[in-house]
Structure 1
Amino acid sequence: MDKFLKNINHEEVLKLADLVEASDGQVVSKTLAQNDYVSITVFAFSKGEEISTHESDGDALVTVIDGKGKFIVDGKEYILNTGESLVMPARKPHSVHAIEGFKMQLTVVFPLER
């Protein structure tokens, strides 16, 4: 039987936040799915860490699963807390900053033709 999600137990109740841990000075990620159409990754950031400004070909849905993070999209700042989500549109510059240690799930949906 094919499994389309990896690095995660199937048919088991779990907390996504438990899949990744970051020590001081780290950003840790675990990819759950990656193909031409979608990417699903969970991240853990230690306080003060960041992912610098970049762009994506797809729309990115981020959900904070623990803590608080700052997201800058096309120059506008958003503060997200546990349980909150934000869509970062395709081809708009964005960055991620850890105000405190936090964890997030990132789902990127890519266009059918790239």
Structure 2
Amino acid sequence: MAKPLYATDTAQAVNLLDLVGIVERGTVSKTLLNEPLFKQVVFAMDAGQELTEHRAPYLALVQVLDGRLRISVAGQEHQLVPTSWLLMPPDAPHDVHAETPSRFLLTLVRASSGESR
């Protein structure tokens, strides 16, 4: 696993679009943070690229930074554009398809559902 780009012990501000570029016919990802309770990864996908159906054991949040994505979650299709946000429950089968060159932020929340707020 790649080492995270950032740590949580200092304040940091970055432009997420500067961290990953679109690679022709490719998908690129960089782990920003990997903490016990959550993980953040920024992805870049060229048009036509996809992540085939898979599951994550955690609550997953997708925020589109640029481009246009089609994400199917448990058989329901979602069209996402910049500023779109998608919540996926743990273990939901999902796939991701880049309709145009696209970048997005994925957050996986590992906190147990039994924790108080």
Same structural fold, with TM-score higher than 0.5 when normalized by the shorter chain: yes
Structure 1 pair 12–109 and aligned structure 2 pair: CA distance change class (3 A): closer
Q: TM-score normalized by structure 2?
A: 0.83
Shift of 1:11: 5.2
- 2:93 is the alignment partner of 1:66: no
Describe the SS at the equivalent of 2:17: helix
Identity among equivalent positions (%) equals: 33
Residue in structure 2 matched with residue 3 of structure 1 by the alignment: none
Shift of 1:19: 0.7
Residue in structure 2 matched with residue 38 of structure 1 by the alignment: 38
Per-residue CA distance 1:7-30 (angstroms, 9 max, x = gap):
259656432111101211110000
Residue in structure 2 matched with residue 104 of structure 1 by the alignment: 104
- 2:5 is the alignment partner of 1:7: yes
Describe the SS at the equivalent of 1:97: strand
Describe the SS at the equivalent of 1:17: helix
Determine if contact 2:58/2:108 at 8 Å carries over to the other structure. yes
Matched to 1:23, the amino acid is V
Structure 1 unmatched runs, 5+: 1-5
Shift of 1:37: 2.1
Structure 2 unmatched runs, 5+: none
Q: TM-score normalized by structure 1?
A: 0.86
Residue in structure 1 matched with residue 84 of structure 2 by the alignment: 84
Per-residue CA distance 1:11-68 (angstroms, 9 max, x = gap):
5643211110121111000001123321100000000001110011101000001111
How many residues are aligned here?
Answer: 109
Instruction: Pick which of 17-26 and 96-105 moved more.
Output: 17-26
Structure 1 pair 100–63 and aligned structure 2 pair: CA distance change class (3 A): same
